[in-house]
Homo-oligomer: A and B are copies of this chain.
Amino acid sequence: MKISVCQSNPIIGDLKGNKEKILEGYKKGINDGADLIVFPELFLCGYPPLDLVEKKEFREKVINTANEIASQTNSIGLLFGSITEDYEDKIGTNVYNSALLCYDGKIQFVQSKTLIPNYDVFDEVRYFESAKEINIHKFGNENLGISICEDIWNDADYWKHRRYPIDPIKTQIANGATLLINISASPYAYGKRKERYQMLSVLTKNDKIPLAYICCVGAQTELIFDGGSMCFNRSGELCLLGKSFQEDYFVFDTNEKYQPVQEVETCFEEEVLNALIMALKDYGAKTGFSKAIIGLSGGIDSALVVYIAERAFGKENVVAVMMPSQFSSDGSVDDSVKLISKLGIKSHKISIQTVFKEVLNVLYPAFNNMPEDLTEENLQSRIRGMYLMALSNKHGYLLCATGNKSELATGYATLYGDMSGALAVIGDIYKTQVYKLAKYINRNGEIIPEAIIEKVPSAELRPNQTDQDSLPPYDLLDRILKMYLEDQKEFNEIVNEIGQPEIVSKVLRMVDMNEFKRKQAPPVLRVSTKAFGYGRRYPIVQRWRK
C-alpha cells in the first residue's frame, strides 16, 4: 500500500483553512499514486482545541466540515483526525477524538481514540470519551489498524509502568491488522523523538507489522509539535522520517525496500534552537505579528532571544531596545551594540534614568523613609517593561520575554517588569543551557559577543550586584531544578544524590513560593518534559515544605 504522509501545520479553530490543507494533500497524494492520504490527530479542528470542544456549535461545524471533505473523495482513501459525537448516548460527554477514513464520497469508517491522556499538558478526559470499540478496517489489500496518538503509547513490551490496563494496538493485531496507522499530535520535548523511535521500533519488530506514524508540526502557543513522522517496516526498521520543525509530505510504499534511517535527533542545541525559532515564528504567523521587540540588557538571556527572534522574523523585523540605568555596566551597552550590528537588526537606546528618578520622587512621601530594598530594583525592571509594552502597542511589535527557566523557577524575575511579553521564549531553558545554546550559535564564528557569554551574570539593578548574591551557582541550581521539576524527585531523593540539604531546601522553597509569579507569566515555549505553564499545576497558596 502507498501512503501519503501529510505532516502539516493546522490552525486551531480554522476549519476552512485546515479543510483546504486536507483537500490539497488529498489531491497531491492522488497525483502521486497513493492509495491512502493521511493527516494527523484532530487536524481538522487543530490540536489542542481545549474548551472549544465544549461548544455545540463548534462541534457541529467540525462534523459538517468533515462530511463536506468526505463528499469530495473518490476511491482513494483519506484519513484525518476530527471530533465526532454520539447523539444517542445520554451519559458522559459523548464526544470522541476520532480518525475518519473517507472514500467513495463518504466517511466509511471511524476509529475513535481509546486511551485518553490526562496528565502533564493533556486534559483529554475533560472532553473525550474512550472509544466504545476497537476495530480494524479492510481497505485494498490491507487490514488497517488505525489508532490515535496515546493508543500506541501503552505497549507492555516497552513500558515498565503502564498508564492503562488495555492495549488497543495489540487488540488490532490480534484481530488481524496487517498495517498499523497512527495519527498523532505528540508535543515536543528534547529526547522525545528518540523515545518515539525506540518504542515504535520495538513494537513493529516484535509484532512483525509495518506502521505509518503521522505527526503534527507547528506550534500552538506554548506547545511545539516537531513533526518527525515515522514509517517502519515489519522488521522495526525506520524507513522514512519526516522533517523536523517544518511541514513535510512524502509517500511510504509498504512494498518498497528502504535504507533504514539511523539518526532521528540531532544535538540538544540544534534541536532546541530550531524548536524555539519555529514556535516564535508560528505564533507570529498565526496571530498576525510580523515584527518582534526585545529588551536587550547586555546579558546572555536577552542576547539569545534576540538571536532567535532574528532567525524567526528576519533582521528587518526585529527591534532591540537598550534601556540602561546608573547601575548598567559600560560593557552592557557596548556589547549590545556589537550584537545589534552583528545581526543587522534595528535598535533604540532609551534611558530609564529620568523616569526612575521622577517615580522615586513622586513616591517618596508614600515610601515613608523606608530603606532601599527590592522595590527600587523592581521599579527599574517595571519601567523597562512599560517602555517595551508602549513600543509594542504603538508599532504592533510582538514583545518577547527574556527570562530563562532558572529565573522563572526561583522567582528571580520581576512581575510586570522583565516578565512582560506575549511569549516566554526561553522560559523552558535553564541558565546553563542558555550558555550552551550561545556557544553553539557561535560555533562557526562569533555572533553573540564573547564578552556577553563571559561576563558574570547580573541583573544590574544595584551596584556590583551578581545573580549569585541571591542564587546558588547556576551549575548546582540547575541540577537541583532539573531533578525537582523534570525528574519529579523530592527533597530527600535530591539530597541523597547531591547532598547540600540547606541549598536544596532553599531552592525547592523558592520554586514553590513563586507560583504566584508564574501564574501571571506569559506562555512558556515548551521544550522539556516539564515546562512551567499548562502542564504543571501547582497550588499558589500552600504550606508543603514550609
B-binding residues in A (CB < 8 A): 11-15, 17, 46, 48-52, 54-58, 90-92, 118-119, 123, 125-126, 161-165, 220-221, 283, 286-287, 321, 348, 350-351, 354-355, 358-359, 361-363, 365-368, 370, 373-375, 378-379, 382-383, 385-387, 389-391, 393-395, 415-416, 420, 422, 488, 490-493, 516, 519-523, 536-546
Contact = CB atoms under 8 A, between A and B. Distances in A.
A370 B396 CA distance: 12
Given A362-B354, A393-B378, A394-B370, A162 B91 contact: yes
A370 B390 CA distance: 12
A9 to B, nearest CB: 12
Considering the complex of A and B, which 9 residue pairs feature the smallest CB-CB distances, nearest first? A13-B544, A57-B490, A13-B542, A14-B543, A12-B542, A375-B393, A416-B416, A125-B125, A375-B394
Contact of A50 (B321, B382, B539): B539
A521 B522 CA distance: 10
B420 A50 contact: no
Contact of A13 (B123, B220, B355, B539): B539
A359 B386 contact: yes
A162 B89 CA distance: 10
A17 B379 contact: no
B165 A91 contact: yes
A447 B260 CA distance: 78
Contacts of A46: 539, 542
A383 B362 CA distance: 12
Given A391-B363, A491-B57, A283 B17 contact: no
A359 B54 CA distance: 45
A14 to B, nearest CB: 4
Given A11-B543, A350-B363, A57 B492 contact: yes
22 contacts: A11-B542, A11-B543, A13-B546, A14-B543, A15-B544, A49-B539, A50-B538, A55-B490, A57-B491, A58-B544, A287-B541, A350-B363, A351-B362, A355-B355, A355-B362, A358-B358, A367-B394, A378-B393, A382-B416, A386-B386, A415-B420, A422-B516
Given A119-B126, A221-B539, 12 more contacts: A11-B542, A12-B541, A13-B539, A14-B543, A46-B539, A48-B539, A51-B537, A91-B163, A92-B164, A359-B390, A363-B390, A375-B390
A87 to B, nearest CB: 13
Contacts of A13: 539, 542-546
Contacts of A365: 348
A377 B523 CA distance: 25
A522 B519 contact: yes
A165 B118 contact: no
A52 B373 contact: no
A14 B543 CA distance: 5
A91 B163 CA distance: 5
Contact of A378 (B49, B389, B538): B389
B394 A389 contact: no
Nearest to A17: B543
A57 B126 CA distance: 28
A363 B393 CA distance: 12
Contact of A416 (B17, B373, B386): B386
A373 B393 contact: yes
A347 to B, nearest CB: 10
A486 to B, nearest CB: 12
B542 A164 contact: no
Nearest to A55: B490
Contacts of A123: 118, 123, 126, 537
B386 A544 contact: no
A389 B385 CA distance: 13
A394 B382 contact: no
A506 to B, nearest CB: 17
A92 B165 contact: yes
A379 B488 CA distance: 42
Contacts of A543: 11-14, 17, 286
A88 to B, nearest CB: 13
Given A12-B541, A17-B543, A382 B386 contact: yes
